[in-house]
């Protein structure tokens, strides 16, 4: 089994607003938002990722570099899914984007032997069978499908480090639609009785001004809903495992495993990865157009060589 990996840069697309699938459909639209792309297929996939591994020597067939700004590519040019990860797309690791709050980001030291971390994002009961199950979303996807694929990665590839992230909210979290009435004085434009779940509001306080999607209550700390899926392999080796809990501040949401949505508070993830000299991050989990996407974009912004395992994400 091989897995489709791709590094990515969304340019003008906002991953919090527009689903990643917008990069692929509709089929008649050219993708001018991509700044650079490598496309091709992997001839072989290494069985080990680790310091000095073969991952950089995997041979790309028919690989070309395209500037989508000058030469727009259409979705038909991209490798679409065939079976379980039979093709690979790899985007260039592009220069750090401005405006995301990481002005003091220290580059990963790529002069060292590559050090690889797998980031397993939010594979929690909530997004599989709970209050925010992907099967109830417009995409009607089954979040449980990523579990055996991530397990296969964990069983067949030796990553230097493995990160498990958790949405981990207090009961009074700003993202919960049920808490809207307790925050009416902070709603920009005033409270409106027509505001409902999945709407977006702008809060002006109590700590920050932030735009917020209103979700059902989910991933409440220390509940079964917030636990990792029972079938997910969770490595217990404390020497190479990092657990990241995000969204713990009741007054700001956090999709990325690196920081909150307005980049005023950072988790310890970047510090822990830099302390371990990690150079490459490989991201998988739930959900691709929110927490996986936001984590991958921040990883690029923090100068990691970044890949997303698409068949291990929904």
How many Cβ atoms are within 10 Å of 95's Cβ, its own excluded? 10
Other beta carbons within 10 angstroms of residue 209's beta carbon come to 11
Burial class (CB in 10 A: 0-12, 13-18, 19+), 92: middle
Please identify every residue annotated as catalytic.
122, 246, 291
Alpha-carbon distances, residue 21 vs 15, 18, 110, 262 (angstroms): 10, 8, 31, 24
Peptide bond into 287 cis (omega under 30): yes
CA distances from 185 to 72, 139, 190, 245 (A): 46, 34, 7, 29
What token pair was written down for 225? 């809903």
- Backbone dihedral angles phi then psi of residue 295, each to the nearest 5 degrees: -65, -45
The total number of residues written for the chain in this structure = 314
């Amino acid at each position: 089994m091989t897995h489709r990996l791709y590094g990515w840069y969304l340019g003008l697309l906002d991953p919090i607003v527009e689903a990643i699938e917008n990069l692929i459909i509709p089929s008649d639209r050219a993708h001018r938002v991509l700044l650079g792309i490598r496309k091709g297929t992997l001839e072989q996939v290494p069985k080990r990722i680790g310091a000095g591994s073969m991952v950089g020597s995997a041979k790309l067939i028919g690989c070309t570099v395209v500037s989508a700004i000058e030469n727009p590519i259409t979705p038909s040019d991209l490798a679409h899914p065939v079976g379980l990860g039979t093709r690979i797309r790899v985007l260039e690791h592009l220069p750090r984007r401005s405006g995301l709050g990481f002005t003091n980001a220290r580059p990963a030291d790529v002069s060292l032997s590559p050090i690889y971390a797998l980031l397993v994002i939010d594979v929690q009961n909530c997004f599989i069978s709970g209050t925010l199950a992907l099967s109830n979303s417009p995409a009607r996807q089954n979040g449980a499908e990523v579990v055996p694929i991530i397990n296969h990665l964990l069983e067949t590839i030796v990553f230097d480090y493995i990160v498990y992230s958790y949405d981990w909210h207090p009961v009074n979290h700003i993202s919960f639609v049920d808490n809207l009435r307790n925050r009416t004085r902070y709603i920009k434009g005033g409270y409106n009785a027509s505001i409902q779940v999945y709407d977006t509001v702008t809060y002006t306080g109590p700590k920050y001004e932030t735009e917020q999607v209103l979700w059902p209550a989910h991933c409440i700390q220390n509940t079964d809903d917030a636990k990792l899926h029972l079938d997910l392999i969770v490595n217990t080796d404390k020497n190479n495992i990092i657990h990241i809990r995000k969204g713990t501040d009741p007054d700001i949401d956090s999709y990325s495993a690196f920081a909150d949505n307005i980049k005023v508070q950072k988790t310890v993830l970047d510090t822990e990865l830099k302390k371990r000299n990690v150079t490459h991050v490989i991201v998988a989990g739930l959900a691709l157009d929110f927490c996986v996407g936001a984590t991958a974009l921040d990883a690029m912004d923090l100068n990691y060589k970044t890949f997303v395992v698409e068949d291990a994400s929904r």
